[in-house]
A = this chain, B = another copy of it.
């Protein structure tokens, strides 16, 4: 029997989950829940209903795992502890500094209800975290480096759009190739913010706007751009739409470390993602962890879990024997 999936929140991530369910033959989409008027939400899957969010608790017996597709700032801190009362849930909470607090809140509610609440699924946090853990356990005393990009940062794109005279904009975070090479060399460099990443902005200005003033305001913007080498390109609205409407992302987790009696040997462990669609890849990671969350609860586990707590075999539709024969 297929794992019955619900989607709560239908933006880019929710649509990505819908696509991921289509790619996993052991999963079935049961319903989409929205805060908007359900009549105005068009989804891709035929014959799957869109319901108002209030209806979710009534469907507790119809859904095995509810995927929470809200934002980390205000939605998930409330939604994940709330909906784990009724369902196994998976979220992609990504405010790194608030993870311990979020974990505790979800853990309490999940233990009380007997569900599994898997938080922080995605690629960072998520697959990048796993690679930091594995490589760190193998090479104690080594050093970790995480680079992001080339990819679109929504937060920085939003910041650009708030600048006076800017009609629209898109920001790319780009890892500095020379820094990557230095890290791979095993030299354990101390890299500043500026040395690791550059930022590239594509900006559509309003007619008659002062371009130099816009550029200056962007590149000196504290927190967002001031600590980086930032390039600003002014382009037309058509160019922005034609060349910059995708949401690519990716990055690198690299650990270097030494082995040997006198630390005489160096090793480099590198994990790289190159993603055409950030939300769809995130959704694909979530789908695999939804399978695991369902299985873990079936086995009698409950409480808050993260990617660190999931035995990899639980992510795959293959049996243990198939995995050993085909992938080990």
Interface presence of A78 (CB below 8 A): no
Q: Which of A115-156 contact B (CB under 8 A)?
A: 120, 125, 127, 129-134, 136-141
Main secondary structure of the interface of A (DSSP, over half): helix
Nearest Cβ distance between residue A320 and chain B, in whole angstroms? 7
Q: Give the bracket for the number of chain A residues in contact with chain B.
A: 35 or more
Which of chain B's residues have a CB closer than 8 A to the CB of A323? 133, 306, 308
Q: Would B284 and A136 count as touching, CB distance under 8 A?
A: no
Within 8 A of B (CB), among A269-324: 269-277, 280-281, 283-285, 287-288, 291, 306-313, 315-317, 320-321, 323-324
A185 to chain B, nearest CB (A): 10
Interface status of A202 (Cβ within 8 A of chain B): no
Would you call A83 an interface residue if the criterion is a C-beta within 8 Å of the partner chain's C-beta atoms?
Answer: no
Q: Copies per complex?
A: 2
Q: Which residue of B lies closest to A141 (CB)?
A: B23
A137 neighbours in B (Cβ, 8 Å): 288, 291, 312, 315-317
A24 close to chain B: CB less than 8 A: yes
- A105 CB to closest chain B CB (Å) equals 13
Residue of B nearest to A139 (CB): B284
When chains A and B are docked, how far (Å) is the Cα of A183 from the Cα of B277? 19
Find chain B residues with CB under 8 A from A16 CB: 259
Q: How far is the CB of A223 from chain B (nearest CB, A)?
A: 22
Interface membership of A220, Cβ < 8 A: no
Question: Among A173-181, A225-233, A260-268, which stretch is in contact with chain B?
Answer: A260-268
Determine the residue in chain B with the shortest Cβ distance to A262: B19
Q: Is A1 an interface residue (CB 8 A)?
A: no
B259 touching A23, Cβ below 8 Å: yes
Q: Known: A127-B134, A259-B277, A273-B269. Contact between A324 and B308, CB under 8 A?
A: yes
Most buried by B among A20, A44, A133, A317: A133
Q: Which chain B positions have C-beta within 8 A of A280?
A: 259-260, 265
> What would be 23 A-B contacts, judged by CB atoms less than 8 Å apart?
A20-B259, A23-B141, A44-B261, A103-B324, A125-B328, A127-B134, A127-B138, A127-B269, A134-B315, A136-B327, A137-B312, A140-B317, A184-B274, A260-B280, A266-B276, A267-B276, A267-B277, A268-B275, A270-B271, A306-B328, A307-B312, A309-B311, A309-B320
What 10 A-B pairs are tightest by C-beta distance, nearest first? A265-B276, A259-B280, A137-B315, A265-B277, A137-B288, A308-B313, A268-B274, A270-B272, A129-B328, A132-B327
